[in-house]
């Protein structure tokens, strides 16, 4: 971007003025301190006469928004025909509101700088295009009741998050189930995980803790987690009961 800007005879301030961004933002992108949004990439491409060279890099830039341990999974998630997830600590990233996601990233330790927080929030919102993709993927989520009662970011943010869960839960291709804390038997004590079905018939499992992740494709491992997920769904409230439970929680806010 810097080379093309200079070849066009523009300063950072002049380029910023033409694309509607400040000089400091252009400098941050050129120095690799900020990952540009897709619309900025397209605008700069047009202004400097790059002929599509910069725009062609948008997909790669999109992957760079994610931490290294998450990038391969993010690429697979975007093409999944089915996704099934069990979460025990926070609402699944795919289901999060922008405000809830920002609160989660701001609580990260070691602390993330402001630019990184905003990049990761934007990337998380971008992932939610999965819900509007056609043909629609089959999506299911089992969420611990304690996750829904933990007001991360404050009561107002949690209320917005519960409302979003209701909206997603009423979509025909989405099923959300709540695991009550009163259950005396629980198949998910080993922790959270996600199952993916891909268009080429591959089945994969993803697990993550702290900054470590594991992506499994071996049938023995994946089938064991699929069996675990089946038991979890049987132990949780039904989708209809779960939506009623979330509505009840909203009434208690």
The pTM for the full model equals 0.79
Could you say which residues of the chain have pLDDT below 70? Answer: 62-65, 68-69
Distance CA(77)–CA(94), nearest Å, equals: 10
CATH number (domain holding residue 83)? 3.30.870.10
Question: How many domains are contained in the chain?
Answer: 2
> Are residue 36 and residue 72 in the same domain, yes or no?
no
Tokens in use for 181?
């804390």
**Would you state the pLDDT for residue 244?**
98
Of 63, 87, 110, which residue is a domain's last? 63
- Find out whether 197 and 203 touch, Cβ atoms under 8 Å: yes
> Are residue 146 and residue 205 in the same domain, yes or no?
yes
> Are residue 174 and residue 74 in the same domain, yes or no?
yes
> Are residue 34 and residue 79 in the same domain, yes or no?
no
H-run or E-run covering 71: helix 71-78
**Would you state the pLDDT for residue 186?**
97
Q: Coil, helix or strand for 109?
A: coil
Query: Could you tell me the end-to-end alpha-carbon distance of the chain, in angstroms, rounded to an integer?
Result: 49
Max CA-CA distance within the chain?
70
**Would you state the pLDDT for residue 63?**
65
Which domain, by its residues, includes 174? 67-95+129-252
Residue 28 domain flag: yes
Residue 100 domain flag: no
> Are residue 176 and residue 149 in the same domain, yes or no?
yes
**Would you state the pLDDT for residue 187?**
97
Residue 148 domain flag: yes
> Are residue 57 and residue 72 in the same domain, yes or no?
no
> Are residue 136 and residue 57 in the same domain, yes or no?
no
> Are residue 19 and residue 84 in the same domain, yes or no?
no
């Amino acid at each position: 971007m810097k080379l093309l800007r200079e070849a066009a005879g523009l300063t950072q301030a002049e380029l910023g003025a033409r694309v509607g961004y400040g000089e400091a933002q252009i400098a941050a992108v050129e120095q690799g301190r900020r990952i540009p949004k897709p619309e900025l990439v397209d605008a700069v491409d047009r202004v400097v006469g790059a002929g599509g060279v910069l725009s062609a890099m948008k997909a790669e830039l999109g992957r760079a928004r994610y931490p290294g341990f998450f990038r391969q999974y993010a690429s697979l998630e975007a093409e999944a025909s089915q996704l099934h997830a069990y979460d025990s600590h926070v609402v699944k990233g795919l289901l999060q509101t922008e405000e809830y996601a920002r609160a989660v990233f701001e609580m990260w330790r070691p602390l993330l700088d402001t630019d990184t927080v905003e990049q990761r929030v934007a990337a998380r919102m971008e992932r939610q295009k999965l819900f509007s993709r056609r043909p629609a993927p089959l999506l299911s989520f089992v969420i611990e009741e304690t996750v829904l009662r933990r007001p991360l970011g404050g009561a107002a943010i949690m209320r917005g998050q519960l409302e979003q869960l209701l909206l997603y839960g009423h979509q025909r291709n989405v099923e959300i189930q709540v695991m009550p804390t009163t259950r005396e038997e629980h198949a998910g004590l080993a922790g959270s995980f996600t199952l993916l079905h891909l268009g080429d018939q591959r089945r994969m499992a993803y697990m993550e803790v702290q900054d470590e992740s594991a992506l499994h494709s071996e049938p023995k491992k994946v089938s064991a987690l699929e069996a675990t997920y089946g038991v979890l769904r049987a132990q949780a409230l039904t989708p209809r009961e779960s939506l009623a439970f979330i509505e009840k929680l909203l009434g208690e806010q």
